[in-house]
Structure 1
Amino acid sequence: MLSRTDPAAGETGADPGGRHAPGRSTAWSLLVAGLIGLVASATLLIEKVELLKDPGYTPTCSINPVLSCGSIMKTWQAELLGFPNPVIGVVGFAVVTTTGASLLAGAVLRGWYWWGLLIGAAAGVLLVHWLILQSLYRIGALCPYCMVVWVVTMTIFVAAVTSLRRALRVPPSIIQYAPSLLVAWTLVVAALIAVRFWDYWSTLV
């Protein structure tokens, strides 16, 4: 028997069997964010393969001295675990996409699955912030596809927290303003980027 869910609020319910049924808004967030992240990660992986085959290859996301995927792909930070970081994204976002699609199809997932998703999303958030710091203050370049991954990773994390709001005892006020907090985070990162590379941006005005 499915637990009662409030679709409008994206609230997660739970039945005695430990199953969780989030609202459709959460399911859609996971599906869309997962798909976008999957496409971005797959594109980055393809570009990395091309660069390995031809060191002189210029990735399509290398647009100018600042927006330069090629510069980042050649650093050790781009292979933190010994293989290209996009591999992590392809696997992780494939799981998220499948989760979102399954939920929209009517699947009800057990609590342990949601906790696993939350832990994975939290690890992704930590990695994203480390990569942001490395890109801005160590490498000195940005990857457009990577920035897309940053945003969707945060979106997935928010969706996972929303799904476990009761278990985590997250105040309703925080859940209510979650979209605004996500926008605020994006604006803060954009501001850091603007300040860090202002010398270059100012030449374009």
Structure 2
Amino acid sequence: MSDSSAAADYRRPTALAVFLIIAGAIGFWAAFMLTLDKFALLANANAQLSCNFNVLVGCGKNLGSWQGSLLGFPNPLLGLAGWTATIAVGVGLLAVSGRFARWYWLTFNVGVVLALALVIFLITASLTDLRVLCPWCMVTWVVTIPTFWAVTLYNLKSGNIPLPERARRVFAALYSWIPVITLVSYAIVAILAQIQLDWIHRAFV
């Protein structure tokens, strides 16, 4: 297919753009709240944080752990930068009439994959080591997971990640199932949390 034909066949991914803006705003808000709590802890190690509800639900333990500053600085700063970029991509999709370059999508996809890898690490640390559920962290998990699926499956189905046509059709079908795939992902995390922390009994019984 020629470049002109590809351009003619291009459909702006409006739903994806709107999702990225909304997810980015939610993720940015969670990262901002975590940053404020981190500042509060730096100012006063005994500060009472609004996110600390009980021994099961709170963010103070996470922020004070080495996992909370994985690269030598607080993880929420990564969130502030990453979710700002996500919002920018969403706005760009709505503002630009043409197709983004493949390298642009691949770069963004790499960032999304790294974000998911970090979230998986932090979920594992929260459930097995820290044994606490951080509210703002969980908000981040909630938006990172569908963002990964949406961006990755879009790139797979649209050819930004080169694949044979048959494989692209498979991923195009999966793209329409993102809500279900996301719910399954949430269920897996919830089941793991139940196994490790017995959160249903401790929170509601």
**TM bracket (short chain):** 0.7 to 0.9
Check conservation: 2:34, 2:136, Cα contact below 8 A. Answer: yes
The answer for the alignment partner of 1:117 in structure 2 is 108
Aligned counterpart in structure 2 of residue 166 of structure 1, from 152, 158, 162: 158
Hey, which of these two has a bigger chunk of helix by percent? 2
Shift of the 147–203 alpha-carbon distance from structure 1 to 2, 3 Å rule, reads closer
Identity %: 30
- Return the TM-score normalized by structure 2: 0.85
Aligned counterpart in structure 2 of residue 37 of structure 1, from 27, 30, 54: 27
Aligned counterpart in structure 1 of residue 139 of structure 2, from 144, 148, 156: 148
Deviation at 1:199, TM superposition (A): 6.8
**Residue ranges of structure 2 left out of the alignment (5+ in a row):** none
Check conservation: 1:51, 1:57, Cα contact below 8 A. Answer: yes
Q: Distance in 2 between matches of 1:185 and 1:50?
A: 33
Deviation at 1:192, TM superposition (A): 1.6
Deviation at 1:99, TM superposition (A): 1.2
SS in 1 for 2:21: helix
Q: Which moved more, 1:159-168 or 1:32-41?
A: 159-168
- Return the TM-score normalized by structure 1: 0.85
Q: Deviations over 1:74-108 (max 9, x none)?
A: 11000000000000000000010111122223354
Q: Distance in 1 between matches of 2:19 and 2:59?
A: 27
Give 4+ residue runs of structure 1 displaced > 3 Å after superposition.
Answer: none
The answer for the alignment partner of 1:68 in structure 2 is 58
Query: What is the identity, as a one-letter code, of the residue corresponding to 2:116?
Result: V
Shift of the 188–199 alpha-carbon distance from structure 1 to 2, 3 Å rule, reads closer
Q: Map 1:94-105 to 2 at 5 A.
A: 94-105=84-95
Q: Distance in 2 between matches of 1:59 and 1:31?
A: 28
Aligned counterpart in structure 2 of residue 86 of structure 1, from 76, 87, 95: 76
Check conservation: 2:56, 2:199, Cα contact below 8 A. Answer: no
Shift of the 203–51 alpha-carbon distance from structure 1 to 2, 3 Å rule, reads closer
The answer for the alignment partner of 2:36 in structure 1 is 46
Aligned length: 191
Shift of the 199–31 alpha-carbon distance from structure 1 to 2, 3 Å rule, reads closer
Check conservation: 1:114, 1:163, Cα contact below 8 A. Answer: no
Shift of the 80–99 alpha-carbon distance from structure 1 to 2, 3 Å rule, reads same
Check conservation: 2:17, 2:90, Cα contact below 8 A. Answer: yes
The answer as to 2:123 corresponding to 1:132 is yes
Query: What is the identity, as a one-letter code, of the residue corresponding to 1:166?
Result: S
**Residue ranges of structure 1 left out of the alignment (5+ in a row):** 6-12, 14-20
The answer for the alignment partner of 1:198 in structure 2 is 198
Q: Distance in 2 between matches of 1:195 and 1:106?
A: 46
Query: What is the identity, as a one-letter code, of the residue corresponding to 1:173?
Result: A
